[in-house]
Structure 1
Amino acid sequence: MDRKDRTTVITTERLRLRPLTEDDADWWVRLHADTEVNRFVGGYTRDQATVRLRAVEQQWTERGHGLCAVELRSTGDTIGRCGLNWWEQFGETEIGWTFAREHWGRGYATEAARAVLAWGFGPLGLRQITAMIHHGNTASSGVARRLGFTPLREDTVLERPCTVYALARGDASPPAGD
């Protein structure tokens, strides 16, 4: 993805990723309204979503990367989010993913994350990417392991305990599928 062109997207066999914007606030609220989704990432009001998405847009402007909406190429439906997030307090770039429950178990998180990792380690030139996964989120831990991540440390993110996984450039797992 070109750092200056926010309309450029990452595509995979089944998915299209585009930068999230403030215009996605209503969708963001709906995604996080599901109790199974928000038990690890929290819920949002419309105002909170707008503030969060403005921060995402700012990160795209300042760092050349951020979170993306994940859309099905076949229908254009937005099914989740995946992308890179800079954490100033940790000095780390994290990859994160969250998908609507009806799209779980289909390999979309792995597919989207693999493409984001290739972009992060390739054109963006990152040396290491972390994944901060809250305790009990076995599905996301499985995605991280399939991608080649290994546990780095225990930490607290957004007032919740998590395991921070790390992956160095060159260690990413290239095989497709789950």
Structure 2
Amino acid sequence: MITTERLRLRPLTEADTDWWVRLHADAEVNRFVGGYTREQAAARLHAIEQQWTQRGHGLCAVELRSTGEAIGRSGLNWWEEFGETEIGWTLASPYWGRGYATEAARAVLDWGFGPLGLKQITAMIHPDNTASAAVARRLGFTFLREDTVIGRPCVVHALTRDDAAFR
């Protein structure tokens, strides 16, 4: 579990299926990362649990420390097809613009570059998601390439451990 001043991040499990479906049903969230049926969500969360077991990291629920309410997700995801570890952040739209994404992502980067010893982390962001691109810039990420992930276009940004040390 990772904690920050306002947030707690805990590993996602299949028990989060209904919440995952609700998060991705938010129209503002859905336009950037897509929606899930209950079956798709359960399969995705099962894969996340396997990644935690196999790689020692994965995606986390982002909860408010003050209430325990889950407001989004963040964490690290290994993409076999790219040979890259990606950081992700997705918050329910009522929580946008409050600095939670930056706070969660900064804690995940510290974990990835610190105890996990990763040398580079990427961020795959939909080209129209200007808010997430701004978070990436704030964290020190720079453009790496344009690509496609899960059938959606994305702009891939990268941050190395050496560059992160200067942020």
TM-score, normalised to structure 1, is: 0.92
Any residues of structure 2 matched to 1:70-149 within 5 Å, and which? 70-149=62-141
Question: RMSD between aligned alpha carbons?
Answer: 1.0
Matching of residues 1-178 of structure 1 within 5 Å: 9-172=1-164
Distance in 2, matches of 1:122 and 1:17, equals 16
Cα distance in 2 for residues equivalent to 1:93 and 1:126: 8
Unpaired runs of at least 5, structure 2: none
Residues 68 and 33 of structure 1: is their aligned pair in 2 closer, same or farther, counting only changes over 3 Å? same
Contact 1:147 1:173 in 2 (8 A): no
**TM-score, normalisation: structure 2:** 0.98
> Number of residue pairs matched?
167
Unpaired runs of at least 5, structure 1:
1-8
Q: Give 1:174 shift.
A: 7.1
Runs of at least 4 residues of structure 1 off by over 3 A?
A: none
Q: Is residue 153–residue 164 contact of structure 1 (8 Å, CA) maintained in 2? A: yes
User: Residue 173 of structure 1: CA displacement?
Assistant: 7.1
Instruction: Tell me the CA shift for residue 170 of structure 1.
Output: 2.5
Residues 56 and 122 of structure 1: is their aligned pair in 2 closer, same or farther, counting only changes over 3 Å? Answer: same
Percent pairwise identity: 80
Give the structure with the higher percent helix: 2
Of residues 87-96 and 156-165 in structure 1, the stretch that sits farther from structure 2 once superposed is 156-165
